[in-house]
């Protein structure tokens, strides 16, 4: 998935950690999604919900991240549901993610009752889900 980002990208992950640069993003993702990693068995899908052009070479995209069951159905009570906000830049290689933020979706009660997402929340979500992960974030057309 790191190849979808620019070399100088900034990414805020589901747990709130800021990652700077494609090489650090690749290193972080490799650890999390590797065999034995906390997201090894999680399969997610991304559905674009809104896109706004900011000129000829930049766009903002909001997508929904959802966990899928092994038979391809969207998980109804999804602890890893998130809004994925991206700033895309047109490059020589095509559209690439310059900045991204993956924000957990919460109900209104959860916002009042729970602190911001942290590593413990992410670990809980991962333990709850236990599904394969698919790395098929598609480029917006």
Please give the residue that has the higher pLDDT: either 58 or 130: 58
**Domain assignment of residue 140, yes or no:** no
**Domain assignment of residue 68, yes or no:** yes
**Domain assignment of residue 139, yes or no:** no
Specify whether the CB–CB gap between 133 and 41 falls below 8 A.
yes
**Domain assignment of residue 102, yes or no:** yes
In whole numbers, what is the pLDDT of the chain averaged over residues? Answer: 78
Give the chain's end-to-end CA distance (angstroms, integer). 17
**Domain assignment of residue 137, yes or no:** no
CATH code, domain with 88: 3.10.450.50
**Domain assignment of residue 120, yes or no:** yes
Host domain of residue 87: 2-129
Specify whether the CB–CB gap between 32 and 15 falls below 8 A.
no
**What is 16-83 written as a DSSP string?**
S-EEESHHHHHHHHHHHHSTTSTTTT--EEEEEEEEEE-SSSEEEEEEEEEEB-TTSPBPSS-TT-EE
Please give the residue that has the higher pLDDT: either 134 or 104: 104
- Per-residue model confidence as pLDDT tens digits over 83-103: 999 999 999 999 999 999 999
Q: What's the whole-number mean pLDDT along residues 26-49?
A: 84
User: How many domains does the chain contain in total?
Assistant: 1
Asked whether residue 62 carries a pLDDT value surpassing 70, the answer given is yes
Asked whether residue 74 carries a pLDDT value surpassing 60, the answer given is yes
Please tell me the predicted confidence (pLDDT) of residue 89.
97
Give Rg (Cα) of the chain: 15
Task: Give the predicted TM-score (pTM) of the model.
Answer: 0.69
Asked whether residue 49 carries a pLDDT value surpassing 90, the answer given is yes
Closest by Cα among 7, 9, 17, 10 to 119: 17
- Per-residue model confidence as pLDDT tens digits over 109-126: 544 444 444 444 444 444
């Amino acid at each position: 998935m790191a190849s979808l980002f620019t070399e100088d990208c900034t990414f805020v992950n589901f747990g709130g950690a800021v990652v700077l640069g494609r090489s650090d993003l690749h290193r972080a993702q490799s650890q999390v999604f590797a065999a034995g990693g906390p997201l090894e068995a999680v399969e997610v899908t991304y559905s674009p919900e809104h896109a706004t052009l900011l000129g000829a070479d930049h766009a903002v995209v909001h997508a929904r991240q959802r966990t899928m069951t092994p038979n391809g159905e969207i998980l109804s009570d999804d602890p890893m549901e998130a809004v994925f906000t991206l700033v895309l830049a047109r490059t020589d290689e095509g559209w690439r993610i310059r900045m991204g933020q993956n924000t957990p979706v919460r109900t209104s009660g959860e916002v009042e009752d729970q602190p911001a997402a942290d590593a413990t929340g992410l670990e809980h979500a991962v333990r709850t889900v236990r599904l394969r992960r698919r790395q098929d974030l598609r480029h917006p057309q």
